[in-house]
Amino acid sequence: MKLWSQYFIPTLKESPADAEIASHKLLVRAGLVRKLGGGLYTYMPLGLRVMQKITQICREEIERGGGIELEMPHLHPVENWQQGPRWAAAREIMFRADSAGDGKRGPREPEYVLGPTHEEVITPLVKQEISSYRDLPKNFFQIATKFRNEIRPRFGLMRAREFVMMDAYSFDATDDGAIKSYLAMKAAYEAFFRRIGAHAIAVEADTGVMGGSFSHEFMVPAEIGDDDVIYNEESGYAANREKATSALVPADLADAAPTGAVEEFATPGAVTIAALEAAPYGVPANQQFKTLVYMGDGKPFLVVLRGCDELEEAKLGSLGFTLFRPATAEEIEPVMGAKPGSLGPVKGSIKDAAALVGVFADHAIRLIGNGTTGANKDGFHLRNVNVARDLAVTKFGDFRRVRPGEPDPKSGQPLKVRRGIEVGHIFKLGTKYSEKFGAVYTDDQKQSHLMVMGCYGIGISRTMQAVIEQSHDADGIVWPWNVAPFHVLICVLDPQLPEMMELAKKIALAAEGAGADVIIDDRAERPGVKFKDADLIGIPLRLTIGSKGLKDGIVELKWRAQKDVAKVPLAEIEAKVAAAVAEAKAKAASAA
C-alpha cells in the first residue's frame, strides 16, 4: 500500500493553456505527465504506473500470439535506412544525429537517425542469424521509445515527438505462413484492447509508407479522433477514410453511349467546379470531370474524378510511386497547355501527352457517361465528353473519398462515419524489406527464398491517453480496472486519529490480499479536496473513513463509475472490500 502524503500526485485545479482536448487536460490535471517541450513529456509516478500496466498486458498478449521479446538500439546508422525501401519517403519525419566526427558529411547527410520503427534494423539482424526454414516462423517484438519529427506536436501524447511503442516483426517461409502470423497478431491485439478496457475497432487501412499488401488499423472511437472510420454495423464493414470503398458504382454498370460530338464552348473566368455550376453554364458538379495533375517520382500524371468528388490522396499509393505530390502551376502548363481551371483528359487536347506517365481515373466517372471538362485552353471547356470514346484512361481505380450514406460494399446499406484515434496498426509486408536486405532462407531442397514479413505496432503512450479520452466524465478520469494506477483509494478524513489510520491499513491489507493496488489518502486536507482529487485521478473503488461514520459504525464504499454510496458496517468492511475486489477482477477478466 502507498500513503498519499509520502507519494507524489501533483493534481491541478485548472487545465493547462495549451491543452485542447479532454484527455490532454486530464493527463496534466491528474498529475500523470508534465510537459518538457513540444511533444516531450515526463511520465509522473501515476502515469508511469498506468504505462507499466498497459505495457505488461501488451507483453503478455503479444507473447501469447507467438512474439519473442528483444530490444534494439534507438540510434540507427543512416546506411541501414538508405539501403531500405522507404528512406526517400521517411527521411523528413526522422530526427538526425551526427557524432562529433570529421565534419565531412553535409547537413543533409546525417550519420545516424533516431528510429520511428525498426524494420531497417530487424531485417538485417534476422538475415544474419536465420538461414534455414527450420528456424521459421519467428516473430520478434520490443516495447521501447520511438522518435518522430512531428512538425506540429499537439494533443499531448496523441501526437508527440517521443513516444512509447510496441513494435513486432514476423518472418515466415511462405505467404500462407505470413497470413497465419498476421491473424495471430490481429487476435493478440483484440485481446490486448479488451483487457485494458478500451473499445477498439479493427478497420481496413492503407499501407502508406510502410508498404505491403494489406493492413488493419485499430481505432478507439472518439470525437477528437485523428481519422474517420467508415463503417456499417450490420455487415461488419469498417475501414479508415484512406482505405474506405463503397458500392456507389455498380459492378455491372455499362458504359454510356456518346450523346453527340465533343463541343468546345467559352467559359471566361470559370476556373472552378462551382463557377461552372452557376449561371450561365449550369453544369452540375456530378456531370463535370475534375482533372488533377500530380508528380510521381518526378514525372507528371493525371487523376480524373467527378466534379462532386474529393481525391483521397493516400489511395494514389496504389499506383506504385515512391513519392508523389500535386504538380505546381509552373509544372502543369507546359504539359497540359493551360493553367489550372481549364484542364481536361480528352484525347488530343493535351499539349504534351507523351510527358504523362499515365491518366488514372476514378471508377465513379463512369456514372457521368457524357460530361463536361476543361479544354486545356484557358477560358474554354468541352461538353459531350464521353468516357469510353474520348478519354485516354491508363487505368481505372478507386481514388475518391467515400461519403456517409453511400452503399456499404458488403451489404448495400448506408455507410456511417465516426472519428477514431489510431492506437495500433498491423501490416502484411510481403518481401519488400527482405528483398532489399537479402533476408533469405533455404528450404529442404537447398533452394533459397525470400522471407515473407509482417510488422505490427501499438502506441503504448497514445493508448494510455486514448483510454482517458474514452473513459472520463465531467469530474475526471474513470479508469478501467486493469490499467488503473491504483485499484482502491481509502480516504481518511481525520488522519490524525490513530484508530482511523489503523482501520484504513486493515482495509488496505484486505484489499491487497484480494489482489488490489491500494493507496491511502492520509493528507491533512478538507474532505472536499480529497473527494475532488479522488474523482480527478479516477481510482475505481473509493472507501471513506470519517469520524461520523465511525461513530455510526460504518465505512462508505463508492465505485468511481457509479453515483450510489454504500454504507458498510465495520464488522463486514474487510470481507466486503475483498469481495468487491474479487468481483471487479472477475469482470475485467471476463471482458477479456
Whether 342 contacts 380, CB under 8 Å: yes
Give ranges for CATH 3.90.960.10 in the chain.
Answer: 263-397
CA distance 454 to 269: 52
> 44-245+417-469 has which fold?
BirA Bifunctional Protein; domain 2 (3.30.930)
C-alpha cell at 398: 478507386
Low-confidence ranges of the chain (pLDDT < 50): 103, 209-211
Q: 107 pairs with which residues across the strands?
A: none
CA distance 199 to 74: 31
Whether 427 contacts 456, CB under 8 Å: yes
The one-character DSSP state at 438 is T
pLDDT value of residue 206 = 67
Element (H, E) at 563: none
Whether 60 contacts 52, CB under 8 Å: no
Decide yes or no: CATH 3.30.70.270 for domain 476-591: no
CA distance 141 to 290: 46
CB atoms within 10 A of CB 367: 18
pLDDT value of residue 209 = 46
CA distance 202 to 240: 9
C-alpha cell at 293: 495533375
Q: pLDDT digit string (tens) for 486-503?
A: 999 999 999 999 999 999
- Closest listed residue to residue 143, CA positions, set 53, 80, 77: 53
For 221, phi then psi, to 5°, come to -60, 130
CA distance 81 to 91: 9
CA distance 583 to 578: 9
How far is C-alpha 257 from the chain's CA centre?
44
CA distance 547 to 536: 24
Taking CA 298 as the corner, what is the angle to CA 112 and CA 152, rounded to the nearest 5 degrees?
Answer: 50
Q: pLDDT digit string (tens) for 289-324?
A: 999 999 999 999 999 999 999 999 999 988 989 889
CA distance 196 to 218: 14
* Torsion angle of the four alpha carbons 94, 217, 305, 308, in this order, in degrees rounded to the nearest 10: -110
CA distance 217 to 227: 11
C-alpha cell at 344: 481536361
Whether 51 contacts 466, CB under 8 Å: no
- Closest listed residue to residue 457, CA positions, set 16, 81, 148, 236: 148
Query: Which residues lie below 8 Å from residue 576, measured CB to CB, with a gap of 6+?
Result: 557, 568
- Burial (CB count within 10 angstroms: exposed 0-12, middle 13-18, buried 19+), residue 565: exposed
Strands (E), 179-296: 201-205, 214-221, 227-232, 237-240, 263-266, 289-296
The 3-state secondary structure of 64-121, one letter per residue = HCCCEECCCCCEEEHHHHHHCCCHHHHHHHCCEECCCCCCCCCCCCCCEEECCCCHHH
* Torsion angle of the four alpha carbons 506, 511, 516, 522, in this order, in degrees rounded to the nearest 10: -40
pLDDT value of residue 208 = 54
The one-character DSSP state at 446 is S
* Torsion angle of the four alpha carbons 291, 296, 299, 303, in this order, in degrees rounded to the nearest 10: -10
Give ranges for CATH 3.30.930.10 in the chain.
Answer: 44-245+417-469
Give ranges for CATH 3.40.50.800 in the chain.
Answer: 476-591
C-alpha cell at 258: 456518346
pLDDT value of residue 215 = 84
Helix (H, G, I), strand (E, B) or coil at 293: strand
Taking CA 358 as the corner, what is the angle to CA 356 and CA 360, rounded to the nearest 5 degrees?
Answer: 135
Query: Which residues lie below 8 Å from residue 419, measured CB to CB, with a gap of 6+?
Result: 221, 222, 223, 224, 225, 226, 227, 228, 229
Decide yes or no: CATH 3.90.960.10 for domain 263-397: yes
Omega cis (within 30) before 137: yes
Amino acid in the structure at residue 178: A
CA distance 309 to 400: 6
